[in-house]
């Protein structure tokens, strides 16, 4: 009870960003990786499409940069985009060196080369992939490497509760310093502590705040909420990417239909079989995700339809089975033969483009606290993330953070005994139904009021509901012992408030943020920054 663990580096999150950072640092530091569920159960594992990098001689870093800037609708940080695209290939080569097998094909001379696919927003084929389960290949490879490293400890089924910070030590340093975190041991149902010389948030995004999401259950905005409570700024939380094509079937769960399907020629159709994307954008099915998602949403509402359809049945059976084996197998199990019939699809919350503000090295506003991956706002994605730049961001900024930490960490720093967790005045809750009710209410009104299409009145209603929920949850948190559901609900409600406040500040429609009250694009492109 109230046990303290000590390490040089605490990494909260076990996806591509967290595990990549752990492997970069582990030869010189003792690492603890905190995994909220089992180590594979995160967004990385379920990523289908691939990773963008320039491997084709007809492609260029300049084109990758240009495509990303266009997709980002004027809000990308051009310096960050350039840095990411320039470092993409070396990071992919490192990943290949770890053992990830990307698909290859023979060129005209019979030499093997990587098979590159194309996705929405890209002007060239530059997506490295492992069939249609790239994330699974990356995650399992990194997990194998991490588990076999003697200086990395993995804590599975542990929630981070809150960061522990100490005030500035002198007048010249105005930043408080992060020295670890309180953690919830789900195995023994008790709070423990971890002291760390450097702490990294790699907790992923917050799409679980919406009723329909492609993300796994662990994507509850924990890192964003913890950083905000600790005093970090957040930016551009209004830009929630809705993936256009989630499989619509009662037994499909949150199964995603990769954008690579459209990259390989799949067509979006209405229930009557007619094609509609050319009416919305000259790029048709290969338009950026925000445009495709809004088009599907518009057609569903206009027709009163439950879904639209994605059709790749005009391709050969062998082509479909070779390029999309997991999708073929999954849909077959649901009674859908994608070689002969279209797939029912709906948009679903997919990616959080905003997050905790960091610099190029991944550093936050708090000393010794870093954030990498989807939890962070780097400026790479702007108002809309281009496909297959997300896993790339994880790799590039994990490497950048590792280089900075290696230079800054003081391995001789004395261990600090963190304050004990006080639960002497709390009791066990006999009203778990309250948490479940609040959980469902939150996700439903976020979908209805803060979804693909917004209005000022909808946002005001959502903010009112969030404020009521916050008061109820704060009272609950003070009086009852923590649980996984309570911790996630507390974080989701906090993130919901940040999303709504950012959305209310943006008086325009740009990228993923579309409001009927301000349908035009403002002349000035500015980020929305919130300060605690």
Farthest-apart Cα atoms in the chain, separation:
74
Cα distance between residue 231 and residue 532, in whole Å: 6
CATH level 3 topology of 247-350: Flavocytochrome C3; Chain A, domain 1 (3.90.700)
CATH of 4-191+217-238+353-408, one of 3.40.50.300, 1.10.10.10, 3.30.70.360, 3.50.50.60: 3.50.50.60
H or E element at residue 506: none
The yes-or-no answer on residue 289 being catalytic is: yes
CA dihedral 409, 371, 154, 165 (to 10 degrees): 60
Categorize the per-residue pLDDT at 48 as very low, low, confident or very high, splitting at 50, 70 and 90.
confident
Share of the chain above pLDDT 70, in %: 97
Q: Nearest 5°: phi and psi at 259?
A: -65, -20
* 458, pLDDT greater than 60: yes
Q: How many CB atoms lie within 10 A of CB 101?
A: 10
Q: Which of 126, 193, 289, 458 is catalytic?
A: 289
Q: What is the pLDDT of residues 343-369, one digit of tens each?
A: 999 999 999 999 999 999 999 999 999
Query: What's the pTM value of the predicted model, to 2 decimals?
Result: 0.90
Which residue, among 346, 349, 350, has the nearest Cα to 387 in the 3D structure? 350
H or E element at residue 360: none
H or E element at residue 343: strand 343-352
Residues 291-303: b if buried by 16+ CB within 10 A, e if exposed: bbbbbbbebbeee
- The beta strand positions in 359-442, using DSSP E, are 369-371, 376-377
H or E element at residue 505: helix 484-505
**Got the DSSP string for 213-241?**
BSS-TT-S-HHHHHHHHHT--EE-TT-EE
Length of the chain: 532
CATH number 3.40.50.970 is the correct assignment for the domain at 432-519: no
Which residue, among 383, 398, 388, 360, has the nearest Cα to 54 in the 3D structure? 388
Specify the pLDDT at position 173: 59
Q: Are the beta carbons of 307 and 300 closer than 8 angstroms?
A: yes
Q: What is the pLDDT of residues 162-218, one digit of tens each?
A: 999 998 766 555 789 999 999 999 989 889 999 999 999 999 999 999 988 888 888
Specify the pLDDT at position 44: 82
* Ranges of each domain in the chain: 4-191+217-238+353-408, 247-350, 432-519
Cα distance between residue 524 and residue 532, in whole Å: 25
Q: Are the beta carbons of 341 and 294 closer than 8 angstroms?
A: no
Specify the pLDDT at position 95: 95
Categorize the per-residue pLDDT at 484 as very low, low, confident or very high, splitting at 50, 70 and 90.
confident
Report the 3 state secondary structure along 302-339.
Answer: HHCCCCEEEECCCCCHHHHHHHCHHHHHHHHHCCCCCC
Cα distance between residue 229 and residue 162, in whole Å: 8
Q: What is the pLDDT of residues 106-124, one digit of tens each?
A: 877 878 888 998 887 899 9
Q: What is the pLDDT of residues 124-165, one digit of tens each?
A: 999 999 887 888 999 999 999 999 999 999 999 999 999 999
pLDDT average, residue stretch 297-321 = 93
Q: What is the pLDDT of residues 314-338, one digit of tens each?
A: 999 999 999 999 899 999 999 999 9
What is the 8-class DSSP label of residue 38?
A: S
Identify the bridge partners of residue 241 per DSSP, sorted by sequence position.
351
């Amino acid at each position: 009870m109230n046990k303290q663990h000590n390490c040089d580096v605490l990494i909260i999150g076990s996806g591509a960003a967290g595990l990549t950072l752990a492997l970069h640092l582990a030869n010189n530091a003792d690492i603890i990786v905190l995994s909220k569920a089992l180590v594979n159960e995160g967004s990385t594992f379920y990523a289908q499409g691939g990773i963008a990098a320039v491997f084709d001689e007809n492609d260029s870093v300049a084109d990758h940069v240009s495509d990303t800037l266009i997709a980002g609708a004027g809000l990308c940080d051009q310096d960050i985009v350039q840095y990411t695209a320039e470092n993409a290939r070396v990071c992919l080569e490192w990943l290949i060196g770890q053992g990830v097998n990307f698909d290859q094909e023979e060129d005209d001379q019979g030499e093997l080369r990587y098979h590159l696919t194309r996705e929405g927003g890209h002007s060239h084929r530059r997506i490295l992939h492992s069939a249609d389960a790239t994330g699974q290949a990356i995650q399992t490879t990194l997990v194998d490497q991490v588990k076999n490293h003697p200086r990395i400890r993995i804590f599975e089924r542990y929630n981070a509760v809150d960061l522990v910070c100490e005030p500035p030590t002198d007048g010249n340093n105005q930043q408080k310093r992060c020295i670890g975190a309180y953690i919830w041991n789900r195995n023994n149902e008790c709070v423990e502590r971890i002291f760390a010389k450097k702490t990294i948030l790699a907790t992923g995004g917050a799409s679980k705040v919406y009723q329909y999401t492609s993300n796994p259950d662990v994507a509850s905005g924990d890192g964003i909420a913890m950083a905000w409570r600790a005093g970090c700024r957040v930016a551009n939380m209004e830009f929630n990417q809705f993936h256009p094509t989630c499989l619509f079937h009662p037994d499909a769960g949150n199964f995603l239909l990769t954008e690579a399907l459209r990259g390989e020629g799949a067509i979006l159709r209405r229930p009557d079989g007619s094609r509609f994307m050319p009416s919305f954008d000259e790029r048709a099915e290969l338009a950026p995700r925000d445009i495709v998602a809004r088009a599907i949403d518009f057609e569903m509402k206009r027709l009163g339809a439950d879904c639209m359809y994605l059709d790749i049945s005009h391709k050969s059976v062998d082509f479909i089975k070779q390029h999309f084996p997991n999708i073929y197998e999954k849909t077959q199990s649901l009674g859908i033969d994608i070689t002969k019939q279209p797939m029912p699809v709906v948009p679903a919350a997919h990616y959080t483009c905003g997050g905790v503000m960091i610099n190029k090295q991944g550093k936050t506003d708090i000393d010794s606290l870093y954030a990498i991956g989807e939890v962070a706002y780097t400026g790479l994605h702007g108002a809309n993330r281009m496909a297959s730049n997300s896993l790339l961001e994880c790799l590039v900024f994990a490497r950048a953070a590792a280089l900075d930490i290696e230079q800054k960490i003081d391995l001789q720093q004395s261990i600090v005994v963190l304050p004990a967790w006080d639960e002497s005045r709390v009791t066990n809750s006999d009203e778990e139904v309250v948490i479940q009710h609040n959980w469902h209410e939150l996700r439903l009104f976020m979908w209805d009021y803060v979804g693909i299409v917004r209005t000022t009145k909808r946002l005001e209603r959502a903010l009112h509901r969030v404020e009521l929920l916050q008061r109820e949850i704060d009272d609950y948190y003070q009086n009852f012992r923590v649980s996984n559901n309570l911790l996630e609900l507390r974080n989701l409600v906090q993130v919901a408030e940040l999303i709504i406040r950012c959305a209310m500040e943006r008086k325009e429609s740009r990228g993923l943020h579309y409001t009927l009250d301000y349908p035009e694009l403002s002349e000035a492109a500015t980020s929305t920054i919130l300060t605690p």
